Amino acid sequence: MKKFFTLIAVAAMAFAAQADVLTVCDNGEYMSNVFPIYGLWADTEGTMSQMIYPAEMLAEMNGKQITEVMFYTLNNYYEQNGENSTDNTDYINFEGATVQLSLKEVEQNGYDEYAPAAVTEATIVATVVPEKGSSRMTFVLNEPFQYNGGNLMVECKIIATNGDWGTTYFWGVGLDYNTSYYEYVGYSGLDYDISAFLPKVSFTYEAGEVGPVEPTEKTDAPSSAKENYVYNDGNLYYNAYTVTLIETEPSTIYYRVGILVDGEYVFGEWMEYTGELNFDDEGTYMIEAYAVAEGKTESDHIWDGFTVSKMVDVEELFAGKTVANVRYYNLAGQEMQQANGLTIMVTTFTDGTTSAVKVVK
């Protein structure tokens, strides 16, 4: 059963809004005995009504935390016009029923009349046992509910009852699409219906949690530079490498090193880059790296591969050329008897050419 009520003489009284209260659906001319609670079935556990309030109605609360939700019976209309109704159906007309409130932001803004379905997995936020004869049904939330600007589904469900029931009419508005849904287990099983009605509601809210701003700009990728040197372990020479990772913009670089094993690279853990990397152990390597700048997402990844291999002697290093003599110099340019630490090895060949390479021994 649904009654239609049209305001004949609207004495529009401005709602004395507080900074922390948002009231919507206060300018309509409808009432319903089904939403937000179906009083005739308040004696049946599981009776449930859902209402989806569109985001544009709630923009004022975007980013805030809801702390209280209040619905108004039809007597609120008479109150706004300076009188009280004498009809008990214009007040809460059932008692002993425990009503559970759940909230959830949803993408949909209503229910399809051909395939209505309840919204699932809403967050339970409060319960109340409405007082018979009251003109309000108020839920004080157990914990604030963070609202982030979407369509808000509000569900009222009977979870306990003492068997009492009675028609109660709530005040609200009619829309041009189906915004509300209810269901209950009747004599012949599950029954449900949809409606283009939204009850008047006041949301009390407070400052919400401000989440981190998600960056949209990507960090510029770093680059890598390799420098070849000869390493001597006391017995053999190795064609070794120093790798430097270079930031493109002020950022932190992270890297990991992989070594080729049975045809596949086995990578170690990610580490923060703090300085040049030296590779003098025999093997085939791959360095993967990316950068992250403050306020940006991580960069594209870069890869650099190389092989550290051993050589029998100096002549092999220089592709078979005949060595005339080899001299060693420290980084200050002073000649040394033999390589010691980081040394410049200058090789002179029989064809008159020379080559200088860094040697670590």
- pLDDT for res 7: 34
Q: What is the pLDDT of residues 47-76, one digit of tens each?
A: 999 999 999 999 999 999 999 999 999 999
Beta pairing, strands 323-329 & 335-336: antiparallel
Query: What contacts 307, CB < 8 A, 6 or more positions away?
Result: 239, 283, 284, 285
CA distance 126 to 100: 6
Mapped onto helix, strand or coil, the DSSP state of residue 9 is: coil
pTM comes to: 0.55
The angle formed by the CA atoms of residues 117, 118 and 119, to the nearest 5 degrees, is 120
> Quick one: pLDDT at residue 357?
67
CB of 357 within 8 A of CB of 351? Answer: no
Asked if 343 and 357 touch (Cβ cutoff 8 Å), the reply is no
Q: How far is CA 225 from the centre of its chain?
A: 37
Q: What percent of the chain has pLDDT over 70?
A: 85
**Sheet strands side by side (includes 21-24):** 21-24, 201-207, 64-72, 136-146
Among 38-52, 72-86, 205-219, the range scoring the smallest mean pLDDT is 205-219
**Residue-wise DSSP of 147-164:** --SSEEEEEEEEEE--S-
Q: Is the pLDDT of residue 10 over 50?
A: no
Q: Residue 58 to residues 71, 151, 170: CA-CA distances in angstroms?
A: 16, 8, 20
pLDDT at 319: 59
17 pLDDT exceeds 90? no
Least confident of 9-18, 30-39, 148-157: 9-18
Q: What is the pLDDT of residue 360?
A: 61
- Give CA–CA dist 47/158, Å, rounded: 5
Residue 151: name the closest of 34, 38, 24 by CA. 24
Decide if pLDDT at 6 tops 70.
Answer: no
Give me the amino acid identity at 293: A
Pairing state between β 223-232 and 354-360: parallel
Q: Which residues of 259-273 are buried (b: 16+ CB within 10 A; e: fewer)?
A: beeeeebeeeeeeeb
Give the separation between CA 73 and CA 131, rounded to whole angstroms.
Answer: 12
Confidence grade of residue 18 (pLDDT, cut at 50, 70, 90):
very low
Domain borders along the chain are: 21-207, 223-360
- Rounded to the nearest integer, the mean pLDDT of the chain is 84
Range name among 20-24, 132-136, 240-244, 322-326 with the lowest pLDDT average: 322-326
Q: How far is CA 346 from CA 136, 149, 243, 319, 328, in A?
A: 95, 71, 23, 16, 6
Spell out the residues 6+ positions from residue 51 whose beta carbon is closer than 8 angstroms to its own.
Answer: 35, 36, 153, 154, 155, 179, 180, 198, 199
Question: How much is the average pLDDT of 79-108?
Answer: 92
Give the tens place of pLDDT for each residue, 264-280.
999 999 999 999 998 88
Alpha-carbon distance 356 to 342, whole Å?
13
Owner of token pair 């078979």:
320
Find out whether 201 and 71 touch, Cβ atoms under 8 Å: yes
Residue listed under structure tokens 């009083």 = 39
Each residue of 296-343: pLDDT tens digit?
Answer: 999 999 999 988 887 655 555 565 667 777 787 776 777 887 777 667
Q: Is 174 exposed, middle or buried (0-12, 13-18, 19+ CB in 10 A)?
A: middle
Please give the Cα distance from 202 to 200 (Å, whole number): 7
Burial class of 93 by CB neighbour count within 10 A (0 to 12, 13 to 18, 19+): buried
d(Cα 111, Cα 244) in Å, to the nearest integer?
60
The candidate with the shortest Cα–Cα distance to 326, out of 341, 311, 336, 312, is 336
Structure token digits, residue 235: 């017995």
- For the ranges 8-12, 158-162, 262-266, 312-316, the lowest mean pLDDT is seen at 8-12
Per residue in 170-208, pLDDT (tens digit) is 999 999 999 999 998 777 778 889 999 999 999 999 986
pLDDT digits (tens, 9 = 90+) for 218-263: 999 999 998 877 776 656 677 788 899 999 999 999 999 999 999 8
